[in-house]
Amino acid sequence: MKAYTMKKVSLRTRIFVAMLLLVGLASVLIAVVTVKQYKKQTKEYYDSRFERKERAAQKNVNYELENTIYPAAQQFLGFIFRERIYEIATVHKMKMSIYDLNGQLQLNSYEPWFRIFKERISTKVLKELKKKEEYKESKPLEGGKISQYAYSYIRDRNLNKVGILKVEYVQDNTQEEEQLSSFLNRLFLVYGMMLFLAVSIAYFLSSYITRSLQNISDKIQKTQLLKKNEKIEVEGTTSEIANIVAAYNRMIDELEKSAEKLARSEREQAWREMAKQVAHEIKNPLTPMKLTVQNFERTFDPNEEGIKEKVKDYAQMLTQQIDVMSSIATSFSDFARMPKKNVERVELNSVLKSAMDIFDSNDITFHCNKEEIYLNLDKNQIIRVLNNLVKNSIQATESNTEPKVEIILEEKENEVEIRVKDNGKGIPEEDRDLIFEPKFTTKSSGMGLGLPMVRNIIETYNGSVSFNSVIGLGTEFIIKLPKNDHPQWN
C-alpha cells in the first residue's frame, strides 16, 4: 500500500520533500555529532583532570611514607597519616581513605581518626585491584554531579605493598550542561533559518523542473501502440528536456515500424510454440512404445506357453499409447485450447498399473491403499500425466546405482492423491520456482513443456500439483484431485 501511494505522488512533490528531508537529516546529524563530541571532550577533560589529581595525591602519600619516623608497614598507616591526610585532601580538593591490604579502613579525610571504622573494600574491588594494580569507577549523584573513585596500592621504598589508597573526586557538570544547552539553542535557531530558506528554494526549484515535464507527460499518456501518435513540439526548454523530447519523437517513428513487426512476430512465435508442444507431447508416448517393442523383440518365443495372451497384452499397451498420440494430434488442431476431455468413470488402479507396466522396469513400484478407486476424468490425459512424471523420475535416477521410482495412489476423505517419488539427484534450489514454467528444462534435450502440461491438465480438474525435493536424496511430485461424482468441467 505504501509503495503504491508513493507512485501516485508527483515528481514535484518528491523533489520538494527530498530537499526538505536532506536539509532536515543533515541538521539532525550535525546536532547529534556535535552533542556527542562535546560530551566526549568534556568526559576526557574531567578524566584527565581526575587522573592528574590522583597522581599528585599518590606522590604526596609516598613522600609522607618515605619521611616518617614510623616503619613503612600497614600496621602503622594510621599513625603515619593521622594528621597529614586532612592537609593532603584539602590541597587536592578530594576525599581520601587509607585501607590495609585486607581492605579494612584505617582512616579517612572526612571523619575523626579515633572513630572505630567498620568500612571495608568489597571483594570485587580487591580482586580487580590485584589484577590491574588500579581500579576506577564512577556513579551519578543528584544535581547532575558525578562521583569518581580510584583505588591504588601504597608502596614503600622497596615497592612492597603496605596499604591501599582510595581517592574520591566529585565532578560538577552543571556549568558544562548550561553551556551545551545555550549552544544547542543557537544551533537550532540557525537550523530553523536554514530550513525556512530550504523550503522556499525547494518549492520554486521543484516547480521549475516539473513544468516542462508535465507537458511532456500529457503527450506520453496519449501514446498508443497501434494508433497514429503525435510528436511533441516544445521551445525554450533546457537541454535535458529537449533531449527527452527528441528521444520521444524518435520513439514514435520506431513505434510505428515496431508495431507491424511485433504483430508478425507474435503470429510466428505462436505457431513455433504450438509445433514444439506438439512434438513434445508426441515424444512422450513414443518412448514407452519403443521400449515395449524392444522388450517384445528380445523376449519373444513363439513356443512359449501363453504367448498369445502376452502378444495380446503388448498389442493392448501399444494400442493404448497410439490412442494417446491420436488424442494429442486431434486436440492440437486448435492451438489456443488444451485437448478436449473425454470424461468417463475411470478405475485409477488399473489405469496407473497399465501405464506403469509399459516402462517394463523392476525399479518402478506401485502402491495403493484400496483395491479400486474411481474418479470421473479422461483416462488418456491421466496416462499422459503419469508418463511425464515417471519418465522424469527415470531420467533423474540414471546415475544412481540403485534407482528407485515409487507410484503411490491413496484415496482420502475428499480427494485422491497420486505421488511419484524417486531417489534421484533432486531439483536445485535455483530451479524450483521455474520448474512449471513453459520452455524451462534442466535436461540437455527436450522442450521443457512436460511439467507445464501436467499442471494444466490437473488444474482443469480443479486439482493441484506440487513437489518436495532434497538434493542428493530425490524428488516427490504430489497430485491432488478432488472427489466429485458430478464434476462441472470446462
For 106-135, write each residue's pLDDT tens digit: 888 887 655 555 678 888 888 888 888 888
Largest Cα separation within the chain, whole Å, is: 132
What rounded mean pLDDT belongs to the chain? 77
Q: Which of these CATH numbers, 3.30.565.10, 3.40.50.1000, 3.40.50.920, 3.90.1150.10, describes 283-482? A: 3.30.565.10
CATH 3.30.450.20 residue ranges of the chain are 9-178
79 close to 118: Cβ distance less than 8 angstroms = no
Instruction: Give the whole-angstrom CA distance, residue 375 versus residue 482.
Output: 9
pLDDT attached to residue 447: 42
What Cα–Cα distance (Å) separates residue 412 from each residue in 216, 334, 458, 481? Answer: 62, 36, 17, 10
pLDDT attached to residue 213: 67
Give the pTM. Answer: 0.37
CATH 3.30.565.10 residue ranges of the chain are 283-482
Q: Is the pLDDT of residue 446 over 80?
A: no
Q: Is the pLDDT of residue 479 over 90?
A: yes
Of 94-108, 270-284, 395-409, least confident by mean pLDDT is 270-284
Looking at domain 9-178, does it have CATH number 3.30.450.20? yes
Instruction: Give the whole-angstrom CA distance, residue 181 versus residue 185.
Output: 6
C-alpha cell at 154: 601504597
Give the torsion through C-alpha atoms of 478, 481, 482, 488, to 10 deg: 150
pLDDT attached to residue 445: 43
CA angle centred on 211, ends 205 and 213, rounded to 5°: 110
C-alpha cell at 49: 583532570
pLDDT attached to residue 225: 58
